[in-house]
Amino acid sequence: MPRYKYEKFLEDLNSGKYANGGYPKYFITSDGEALSYDSAKKNQNRIVEAIKESSSDGWMVIGCEINWEDTELYCCDTNVKIESAYGDDK
């Protein structure tokens, strides 16, 4: 699997909170945690440095995904629930 580069992170971040079709995006860190779009935006400089240095400080993002149905996905930084595209929040 190719390494997620900081340029791709910035591209994913700058393309907005939602993917085409209005699907909510989130980021995955190297330790398997979910990071909300808002948290990634707020901490983008820290994340870029972590990616450049292959840091293991918890801020190295390795990908951007869509939360399709997980209604219990929370941001590891803010503990705020990450919106899902099709999950039933009831």
69-89: b (≥16 Cβ within 10 Å) or e:
eeeebebbbeeeebbbbeeee
Computed over every residue of the chain, the mean pLDDT equals 94
Q: Which pTM was predicted?
A: 0.93
pLDDT of res. 85: 94
DSSP-assigned letters across all residues of 43-70? THHHHHHHHHTT--SS--EEEEEE--S-
Q: Span 82-89, mean pLDDT?
A: 86
| Residue 25 scores a pLDDT above 90 | yes
**pLDDT recorded at residue 87:** 82
What are the structure tokens assigned to 41, written together?
Answer: 């935006």
Residue 88 has pLDDT above 80, yes or no: no
Asked whether 76 and 34 are in contact (CB, 8 A), the reply is yes
Predicted confidence at residue 89, as pLDDT, reads 61
